[in-house]
């Protein structure tokens, strides 16, 4: 495993729409392992592949109850609303208030290509929405109500 460099805001790679993963191979496994290590080292709760310069639909989330690897994730259902502070490893030292759904159901594939569904509420729902946005070139500042100090 290796720590990868986290791309910072302003890099055009963060504005691209990522392509689906079609090959569930060793290269994908290495990417996921590296993303996990990079996220934990940076003390983040989520990381998306474009943040390490890879334009594929891959992200990792861990809000404190275990790692979730999402490949080709799709939000299938959204419920309720939450408003809260959000930051991004690509925008260090900043945060802003963003309105998100309070509960989301995500369908995705695991590193072997198996499809699964995961439900997130609160912080986990926020992380899912934030990371899946990255796969479409969207950063939280596009949705921010106001930045906070």
Pair 16, 133: CB distance under 8 Å: no
- Measured from the CB atom, the residue of 31 and 88 that comes closer to Ni ion is 88
**What binding mask, one character per residue, do residues 49-88 give for Ni ion by CB under 5 A, x or -?**
---------------------------------------x
Q: Is 45 in the site for Ni ion (CB under 5 A)?
A: no
Q: What amino acid positions are annotated as catalytic residues?
A: 131
Residue nearest to Ni ion (CB): 88
- Measured from the CB atom, the residue of 8 and 27 that comes closer to Ni ion is 8
Q: How far is the CB of 31 from Ni ion (least distance, A)?
A: 17
Q: How far is the CB of 130 from Ni ion (least distance, A)?
A: 5
Name the DSSP class of 142.
Answer: G
φ/ψ of 77, rounded to 5, equals -150, 145
Other Cβ atoms closer than 10 A to 82: 16
List, as one string, the DSSP characters of 33-82.
HHHHHHHHHTT-SEEEGGGGT--BSEEEE-SSS--EEEEEEEEEEEES-E
Q: What is the length of the chain?
A: 149
- Measured from the CB atom, the residue of 71 and 96 that comes closer to Ni ion is 96
Interacting residues with Ni ion (CB under 5 A)? 88
């Amino acid at each position: 495993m290796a720590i990868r460099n986290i791309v910072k805001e302003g890099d055009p790679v963060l504005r691209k729409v990522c392509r689906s993963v079609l090959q569930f191979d060793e290269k994908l496994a290495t990417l996921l392992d590296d993303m996990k290590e990079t996220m934990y080292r940076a003390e983040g709760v989520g990381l998306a592949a474009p943040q390490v310069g890879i334009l594929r639909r891959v992200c990792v989330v861990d809000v404190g109850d275990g790692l979730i690897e999402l490949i080709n994730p799709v939000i299938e259902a959204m419920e309720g609303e939450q408003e809260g502070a959000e930051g991004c490893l690509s925008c260090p030292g900043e945060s802003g208030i963003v309105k998100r759904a309070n509960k989301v159901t995500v369908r995705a594939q695991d590193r072997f290509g198996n499809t699964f569904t995961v439900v997130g509420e609160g912080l986990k729902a926020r992380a899912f929405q934030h990371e899946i946005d990255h796969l479409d070139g969207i950063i939280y500042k596009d949705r921010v109500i106001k930045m906070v100090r």
